[in-house]
Structure formats: C-alpha cells, structure tokens
Amino acid sequence: MPDPSVVQRGLEDVVALESRICFIDGKQGRLIYQGYDIRDLAARSNFEEVAYLLWYGRLPNAMQLSDLRRRFGELRTLPPAFVERVRSMPAEATPMDILRTSVSALALFEPEEGKPGASSIGGAQRLTAALPTILGEFHRRRAGLPPLRDRPELSQAAYLLYALTDREPTELEARAIDVALILHADHELNASTFAARVTASTLSDLYSAVTSAVGTLKGPLHGGANERVMELLDEIGTPDRAEAIVKERLARHERIMGFGHRVYKVEDPRATILRDWSRRIGEAKHDLHYFEILGHVEEVVHREKGLYPNVDLYSGSIYSLLGIPHDLFTPIFAASRVAGWTAHVLEEYQDLRLIRPTAKYVGAVDLVYVPVAERP
Ligand code: COA
C-alpha cells in the first residue's frame, strides 16, 4: 500500500495502469507506439496506418489499410442535421470549444457507436474521420471559404489541410501534416488521455470520454502551447531580438512555451523530427524566419534554464507557413490524438477498473454547525 500521508502532486511518477499502446523512455528520448519507434513511423508510415496500429496493436496489411482509408472517406460525411448545428454555433467561439461541443453533440446522432465495449471501435473510427470535417465546417464559415466538399480520395492529412485552407496541398505539404498527425497520435498517460480513461473507467461511452479529453487538451499547459509559441515568435519578430525577449520573460519567471516536459529529461524525439520539417517547409516557402528565431530561442532557453524543446515548439511554425490560423493548432492536435484517446478508451473497456484515487485531507474536522441567522 502506498503511504497515504505522501501526496504525489500532479500524480507525478504514479504508475496508474498497464498499457500496451505507448511507451516513453524519458531518459533516452524514445517514443514507441505498440512496439514501433516513432522515428521509423514518422519516416515511413502514415496517419491511417498509425491509427490502425494504435487501435488493433499491429500494422495493417494492404487490404486492411485500403479498407480503413475507404471507411475514413465515408465516415467524414456527417448527418446534415448535425452539420447544421455546427454551422449555427457562434462564429466567434474558439475552435476547441466548437470541437468539444460537437463531439458531444455528434453522440446524440449515433448513440450505438459509442457504447462501452469492443464495438466502440466504430465510434473511434467515426470520430477520427469526423474531426477534420467538424473543423472545416466551422472554420470555412467564419473565414468565408467555399463549402466543404466530400473528398474521399484524399488522405486524412491532405483532407485536413484542404478542409482548413480550401487549397490543394502539395505532396510536401500533405506529408508535413501527415508526419505531424503521426507524432501527435498518442503519448501514454498525458492529461487528456488520462481524462478519457477516467471517463471510460466509469463505463461511460466513448463520445463522453473524448469530450472530456478535448476539454483537457485545450489548456495551455497541454495542447494549447504551440499557439502560445507563435505569439512569442510574432513578438520577437526577428532573430536578433530573441535573446533579449526570452531573457526578459525568464527574469519575470514566465514559462517559455514549447519547452520542458514531465516525462522527457532530454530532447523530445518529436521536436527533433518537427525541427527538420519546420526547416523543410520554410525552405519550400522561401521563408525561414520562424525556423531561425526558434533556433535562437532554443539556444537561450537551454543556456539559461537547461530545458529542451517539446513537441509544441516547432509544430506551429509549420502550420503557420501552410496558412493555418493559430487557433486551429490545438484542434489539429486533437484531430490526431483522437486516435490515441480512442485506443486508450478501448483498452480501458477491455481491462476495466474504476479510476478513483484518494486525497490527503488537510481541512478542518469537528467544526460546530451554526445556523445562518446566528453567523456573524
Ligand atoms: N519555461 C521556463 N521554465 C520552465 C518551463 C518552461 N517551459 N518548464 C519548466 N520550467 C521550470 C519550472 O519553472 C520549474 O522551475 P523551478 O523549479 O525553479 O520552479 C522547473 O522547470 C520544473 O518545472 P515543473 O513545472 O515542476 O515541471 P513539470 O513536469 O510540472 O512541467 C510542463 C511540465 C510541460 C507543464 C512544463 O515544462 C511547462 O509548463 N512547459 C511549457 C508548456 C508546454 O510547452 N507544454 C507542452 C507540453 S508537451
């Protein structure tokens, strides 16, 4: 039994459950999905294959992969009455709020898909296919872009980019998004995945679990960090101003977004891969200014605080150069992590144990109740 007087704040280092889905070696800087190193997956795989891997525990064969691609193509089309609801949500709302409410609302239209148990794989595929459509429907209306069309021939990555920008992505652009989707697809018991598992552990449905997860991802200490990185880059403006501005923020004890990690004590391997993609997209767009500023920021933060970059440092620079507005960065994270959330929910249903930790009580006891009329 753990000592009840010792509080592991933030559940740091607490091993809460067994999982086969994802392994992080924080000392070696390794990330593994179902046995496969993230560097191999980012170099050679694609998001569809990775989603299959997370859900089923093995890579698909050619037939299984083409089936999943076809299914994603079909499942992106959402019930017209639901799409109407998305379109009527306030245009000034944040896309993460739209996503959270939409996942919850979609559950009303397909109660069977989310039912706890192995059949929730249907809901897992539906939500993974649907998130880009929800974002596209919302964003296109507020941005005055033409209506979203079904594009079953596009990969999830290319469709996401098309849905958000109305442009035909080049091969390089689609591949950059594909790699970003692969890298964000899972990360063991991060806060949003834990939230999803807590919800699933009560035998609640998959859509409720994903709704909890979206709400958790929204916070700036989790998924919201890459958006904040871009605010910093815009404030810095040119590489020569990086040193002074970063030092100033550190002197005010501010956190520099995109650095530090609860688990990685060395560089996050996803940051290494995204740094390379930030340069590649910068070169393709003849605009390396984000890449150059980030190099300076990295140097200063490492020198001053000994901190390494995490996944959020470089992703925003890639999305920005692809013409994606900042407030859609965290939703893109969600459009990828939904594969991991749902894989964890399915795993939770298979090995169910209500997640319910305890607290060390530090409040008062034995206070004497005074009726309201007699209180000072
Ligand atoms: N900028 C400046 N200082 C940072 C920092 C950052 N990004 N991340 C951690 N630190 C400092 C803390 O201030 C603390 O210093 P102190 O001991 O002098 O108070 C020390 O490093 C340890 O930080 P702590 O908050 O205990 O680590 P954690 O494991 O709880 O934090 C994060 C993990 C991710 C919440 C944290 O690194 C952070 O806030 N990063 C920025 C947000 C971000 O990029 N999130 C995306 C994560 S993928």
Residues linked to residue 37 through DSSP beta bridges, in sequence order: 32
Q: How far is the CA of 273 from the centre of ligand 1 (A)?
A: 21
| Ligand 1 touching residue 330 (CB < 6 A) | no
Q: Which of 5-19, 240-254, 299-313 has the lowest mean pLDDT?
A: 5-19
Q: How many CB atoms lie within 10 A of CB 44?
A: 10
Going by C-alpha positions, the residue among 109, 81, 108, 95 that lies closest to residue 138 is 95
Using an 8 Å Cβ cutoff, are 315 and 274 in contact? yes
Give the pLDDT of residue 115.
87
Q: Categorize the per-residue pLDDT at 1 as very low, low, confident or very high, splitting at 50, 70 and 90.
A: low
Supply the residue whose CA is at minimum distance from atom 28 of ligand 1. 262
Mean pLDDT calculated for residue range 155-162: 98
Mean pLDDT calculated for residue range 40-69: 98
Longest dimension (CA), the chain: 76
Angle at 227 between CA 223 and CA 231, to 5 degrees: 150
Distance of CA 300 to the CA centre of its chain: 27
Pocket test for ligand 1, best of 305, 311, 329 (most atoms within 8 A of CB): 305
Supply the residue whose CA is at minimum distance from atom 16 of ligand 1. 253
By DSSP bridging, strand 30-33 and strand 36-37 are antiparallel
% the chain with pLDDT above 70? 99
| Ligand 1 touching residue 260 (CB < 6 A) | yes
Catalytically annotated residues: 222, 261, 312
Give the pLDDT of residue 222.
86
pLDDT in tens, 183-236: 999 999 999 999 999 999 999 999 999 999 999 999 888 888 889 999 999 999
Give the separation between CA 227 and CA 312, rounded to whole angstroms.
8
Give the separation between CA 134 and CA 31, rounded to whole angstroms.
30
Distance of CA 373 to the CA centre of its chain: 51
| Ligand 1 touching residue 285 (CB < 6 A) | no
Angle at 297 between CA 293 and CA 299, to 5 degrees: 120
In the three-class reduction of DSSP (H, G, I as helix; E, B as strand; rest coil), residue 31 is classed as: strand
Give the separation between CA 65 and CA 365, rounded to whole angstroms.
60
Give the pLDDT of residue 111.
83
Overall pTM surpassing 0.85 (yes/no): yes
pLDDT: which is higher, 2 or 356:
356
Q: Which of 3-7, 9-13, 27-31, 151-155 has the lowest mean pLDDT?
A: 3-7
Residues linked to residue 23 through DSSP beta bridges, in sequence order: 32
Q: How far is the CA of 307 from the centre of ligand 1 (A)?
A: 9
Which is it for the CA torsion 317, 263, 99, 176, positive or negative? positive
Q: How far is the CA of 327 from the centre of ligand 1 (A)?
A: 22
C-alpha separations of 119 from 71, 230, 237, 304, 335 in Å: 16, 40, 50, 51, 21
pLDDT in tens, 322-334: 999 999 999 999 9
% the chain with pLDDT above 90? 93
Give the pLDDT of residue 311.
94
Give the pLDDT of residue 40.
98
Using an 8 Å Cβ cutoff, are 268 and 311 in contact? yes
Mean pLDDT calculated for residue range 168-186: 97
Atom number in ligand 1 closest to CA 313: 44
Q: How far is the CA of 214 from the centre of ligand 1 (A)?
A: 22
pLDDT higher than threshold 70 for residue 2: no
| Ligand 1 touching residue 259 (CB < 6 A) | yes
- The DSSP H or E segment spanning 64 is helix 62-75
Residue written as tokens 């340069």?
279
Question: What average pLDDT is seen over the chain?
Answer: 96
Residue type, 6: V
